[in-house]
Amino acid sequence: MAPITYYNPFASDVKENPYPYYDWLRREHPVYQNERLGFWAISRYSDVMAISRNPEEFSSVQGIGPDRVPTPMMISQDPPIHTRLRSLVSKAFTPKTVTQQEQRIKEIVEELIDPVIQKGKFDLVQDLAFPLPVIVISEMLGVEPERRDDFKRWSDDVILIAAATKDPAIAARYMKSWQEFKTFFAQKIEERRQSPRNDLISALVAAQEEREALTLSEILNFCLLLLVAGNETTTNLITNGAKAIFEHPDQAEKLRQHPELINSMVEEALRYDSPIQGTFRTNNHELEVQGVKIPANSKILLLWGAANRDAEQFPDPDKFDIERTPNRHVSFGMGIHICLGAPLARLEARIATEVLLRRMRNIRPDPDGARDRVDNPMFRGLHHFPLLFDLP
């Protein structure tokens, strides 16, 4: 590999493997300015943690992507608006509420595996890692999982626009998807207003009507956030974890011999190859980080993926170790914006792993199958991951 002299998250070689660039940033430029694209990158664990825990100085209101695109989503709000929204919706993601989903998640995973079990091969992404979180979130919201192809398309278009592509065709796709999304969910919201059910949309509508706590726009944007964050993070977690296991046969054997390590494996998968590589903040005042002055109102990229490979926090950080402890990774963010659905993502990944290990033997990448990486600088995962397996 040629010596590294720059960092551009949109470059194809960086998207393919960002970790050598992160190592260079942490060592040589822990506060890195990309003048052409107009942002600063923060790569060391301690700095990423400090900034993410200081929303008063580092704002999300100008968007969590590189462009200054304000959105009404909770993830792009500061206190007190963020505090109000999070307090209202967090009740749906308490540990007790998430635990109650466990049996249903097991059923969904079994149902997804059943059609492929006699084939001896399947696509981990398309057959399991993508449909699982979409079905779970759909059922929690109270909408038809059969629309999951639409949900995926809408989610993909939001992610593309968040990556700050200036392609007019992408912007047009996003607007079309947003209109379709609003039409679909506005109808569901009205249905719940007329006939409430035991689902999340009904709870959000009740909060709107009883306390005027949520506007229609806020309900719509929270539903969109759930679809995007709930599906993309979990899909990438399952896929990246499997890829890491296959690339480390000693860890794969250890997991087969000690399935009680599955929870620890999920945490290491999150650290080793983060589903979300980074998000942006905007600083309110001029400040200094690692001796470097950053002007006020600058876009600052918090590199979660780089922080998770910082040797100051993680000994031997480039080693995939399913017994790593402690493992204080920041893959779900930190501070007030820590991912609301993190417990649900962990639960889905654990159950998916348990079922695969129980129902399949000698799972391995298909040498003739094509792996297709997600082409997005902020999200890291695969569109396709063909696998072979034997029956127990």
Report all structural domains of the chain as residue ranges with CATH numbers, in order of start.
Answer: 12-390 (1.10.630.10)
Strands 287-289 and 278-283: unpaired
DSSP 275: S
State whether the Cα torsion 184-185-190-193 is positive or negative: positive
Average pLDDT over residues 166-187: 85
Specify the pLDDT at position 65: 84
User: Rounded mean pLDDT of the chain?
Assistant: 91
pLDDT (tens digit per residue) in 288-336: 999 999 999 999 999 999 999 999 999 999 999 999 999 999 999 999 9
173 vs 248 pLDDT, higher one? 248
Min mean pLDDT across 69-83, 101-115, 332-346 is at 69-83
Inform me whether the pLDDT recorded for 234 exceeds 60: yes
- What confidence category does residue 371 fall into, taking pLDDT thresholds of 50, 70 and 90? confident
Structure tokens at 192: 């719940």
pTM (two decimals): 0.93
Q: What is the pLDDT of residue 209?
A: 60
- What pLDDT sits at residue 166? 63
Q: Which residues pair with 293 in a beta bridge?
A: 288
Contact between 300 and 327 under an 8 Å Cβ cutoff? The reply is no
Angle at which helices 148-162 and 216-247 cross, to 10°:
90
Residue 79, pLDDT score = 93
Render pLDDT for 196-230 as a digit per residue (tens, 0 to 9).
998 889 888 887 665 556 788 888 888 888 887 77
Do 128 and 109 touch, CB atoms closer than 8 A? yes
pLDDT tens-place string over residues 137-174? 989 888 888 888 888 888 888 777 766 556 777 778 88
Give pLDDT, residue 262: 98
With residue 266 as reference, give the H or E element that holds it.
helix 262-272
pLDDT score recorded for residue 237: 97
Cβ density class 17-35: b for 16+ within 10 Å, e for less: ebbebbbbbbeebbbbbbe
Which residues touch 371 (CB under 8 Å, ≥6 apart)?
365, 382, 384, 385, 386
- From CA 261, how far away is CA 354, in angstroms rounded? 11
Give the DSSP letter string of 287-314.
Answer: EEETTEEE-TT-EEEEEHHHHTT-TTTS
pLDDT value, residue 163: 64
Q: Which residue has the higher pLDDT, 287 or 224?
A: 287
DSSP state of 276: B
pLDDT of residue 246: 96
Check residue 210 and give its pLDDT: 58
The stretch 170-199 carries a mean pLDDT of 89
Selected residue with higher pLDDT from 171 and 31 = 31
